[in-house]
Amino acid sequence: MTIMANDLKTRGVTLLDEALKQDDEAIISVRGKSKYVVMNLEHYNYLRECELEAALMETHKEIKEGKAKILTADEHIKALHDDL
């Protein structure tokens, strides 16, 4: 659902509540152009969890392919300082 910024100004959170009952996300349009996305916190947390899961899977893949280094904390700090 797309919400016009002026409608949001006049109706506020009530308009967002109505929009999010119909869909997981609502787009806010400013001067006829889509500019923002609004979602409820539960949906946002779900998307963050998906993003973190994808990053974890990518990390496991890189470890399996030998693209990762396993270092102690001291070795890691030394490597960071060596890169400066």
- Tokens for 71? 């270092």
Distance of CA 61 to the CA centre of its chain: 22
The per-residue pLDDT for range 31-84, each reduced to its tens digit, is 999 999 999 999 999 999 999 999 999 999 999 999 988 899 999 999 999 988
Decide if 53 contacts 64 (C-beta within 8 A).
no
The per-residue pLDDT for range 9-40, each reduced to its tens digit, is 999 999 999 999 999 999 999 999 999 999 99
Decide: helix, strand or coil at residue 70. Answer: coil
Q: What angle do CA 22, 27, 33 make, to 5 degrees?
A: 145
| In the chain, domain spans | 2-39, 42-83
Q: pTM for the complete prediction?
A: 0.69
Decide: helix, strand or coil at residue 4. Answer: strand
